[in-house]
Structure 1
Amino acid sequence: MKNLNKIAVLIFLYLVILGLSLFYINSFVEEDVYLFYSVNSMTFGVLDNIIVSLSYLGSYYIWSALALLFWFRRKYETASYLLGAVLVTGIPTLLLKLLIMRPRPFEVLEAFRLVADSALSSFPSAHAVLAFALVVVLSKADKRIMLPGFIFASIVAFSRVFIGVHYPFDVIFGALMGIILGILTINLPLEKIEKTLERWRK
């Protein structure tokens, strides 16, 4: 019952953040565009390529593959946490992208830097959602992960604007959603996923 109450509160908070994000992306378009150009036009010399590479570390493919790797190595608890985070963040994020259909910056603006494009819509940033959710989920196992994890997730979120595929509000609200969904993940009965993964491996 205690966990059910937590889950209900977290879902409510997620919906509040969603409501606020929709208000901001529709009411502060000029500010979002200004911030986009401010970040997208930045340059850090030799670090530019590193930032571009880090952008892909928030990919669902990478973390799904890592979950599979831990499963093969019989690290079922870690695999269940990673898989849980991928599913809990991936499903609502995909639904929002399909429902809201916010155009990518490069579809309506002339980006200073465009490294990659995507067929899916801009809001929210799936990379930001997953990166921040993973920090919360993995920090449950080891608190030392939290600080470097949030730094890593922030760089991933920043990089999505830097390479021209997201507006700042996409990643800011994506990060907030990710934190809430990460907390939601660790309050779910992940031991059921763990037992299922272990049973499949036998």
Structure 2
Amino acid sequence: MKNKGNVFKASYLTVFLFFATFLNAQNIDINILRDINVNRNKNLDPTFKFITNIAVPFSVATPIIIYSVGLIKKDSTIKKQAIFIGETFLVSAFITTALKHTIKRERPFNTYSDIDKATSAPGYSFPSGHTSSAFATATSLSMAYPKWYVIAPSFVWASAVGYSRMHLGVHYPTDVFAGAIIGSGSAYITYKANKWLNRKRSKKDR
């Protein structure tokens, strides 16, 4: 009985610590967002709206343009790189959509009245789809073309997309952070999956 009592006490303590940590993290999350959104320079709103609005179209257009170049040049390597970038975008979109509909986190402007919604944002908040798309493109593009003049602008752009989502009041910092991890992770998963499939094909051809 004494052991059972200790187990219950440990369970209650674990649950209490979990909720205390969660609430504290939520407080930090909204406080950072308030610093970014409520105190923002509204003159920059049009710039960040533009950055936000081009995020997904740019992510979709990038593999299409690269594949077109591969077709024109009749270069199979370029076409493979384009397919890899496109696959990464799709993997990222799938994971992001699945998480959004599983977690169902409300947008910050729906929960906190002082958060100023400066752009349209339907659906759920976690994770940030714009950020995951941007980081999926930036990471896969950098892996396909590992040159500093590709890597640096790609990640500056992806980071600007993530920041724009907070500036415009439609995502928490944790939404953006998760989106960046999912986008970058999708590139790694896709790369590893392609490597594994290529290895299997080469074994069959022997």
Q: Which residue of 2 aligns with 1:185?
A: 190
Deviation at 1:91, TM superposition (A): 0.6
Residue by residue, what CA displacement relative to the aligned partner does 1:38-85 show, whole Å, maximum 9, x if unpaired? 1112434643321221122322x4422443344445262343133112
Q: 1:168 is matched with which residue: 173, 198, 202?
A: 173
CA distance in 1, matches of 2:132, 2:65: 22
8 Å CA contact 2:87, 2:190 repeated in 1:
yes
| Distance change (3 Å), C-alpha of 1:127 and 1:111 | farther
Normalised TM-score (structure 1):
0.72
Name the % identity.
27
Say which is worse superposed, 143-152 or 43-52, in terms of deviation.
Answer: 43-52
Residue by residue, what CA displacement relative to the aligned partner does 1:99-123 show, whole Å, maximum 9, x if unpaired? 1000001111124432223332100
Q: Which residue of 2 aligns with 1:28?
A: 25
Larger Rg: 2
CA distance in 2, matches of 1:182, 1:111: 36
Mind listing any 5+ residue stretches in structure 1 that lack a counterpart?
1-22, 193-202
Normalised TM-score (structure 2):
0.71
Mind listing any 5+ residue stretches in structure 2 that lack a counterpart?
1-19, 72-77, 198-206
CA distance in 2, matches of 1:82, 1:26: 38
CA distance in 2, matches of 1:160, 1:94: 17
Alignment of 1:77-92 (within 5 A): 77-92=80-95
Q: 2:146 is matched with which residue: 142, 153, 161?
A: 142
| Distance change (3 Å), C-alpha of 1:45 and 1:167 | closer
Q: 2:35 is matched with which residue: 22, 33, 38?
A: 38
Alpha-carbon RMSD: 2.7
| Distance change (3 Å), C-alpha of 1:111 and 1:86 | farther
Are positions 1:47 and 2:51 aligned together? no
Deviation at 1:163, TM superposition (A): 0.6
CA distance in 2, matches of 1:143, 1:24: 41
Are positions 1:156 and 2:152 aligned together? no
| Distance change (3 Å), C-alpha of 1:130 and 1:99 | same
Q: Which residue of 2 aligns with 1:12?
A: none
CA distance in 2, matches of 1:186, 1:130: 16
Are positions 1:58 and 2:55 aligned together? yes
8 Å CA contact 2:59, 2:137 repeated in 1:
no
| Distance change (3 Å), C-alpha of 1:26 and 1:79 | farther
CA distance in 1, matches of 2:105, 2:64: 32
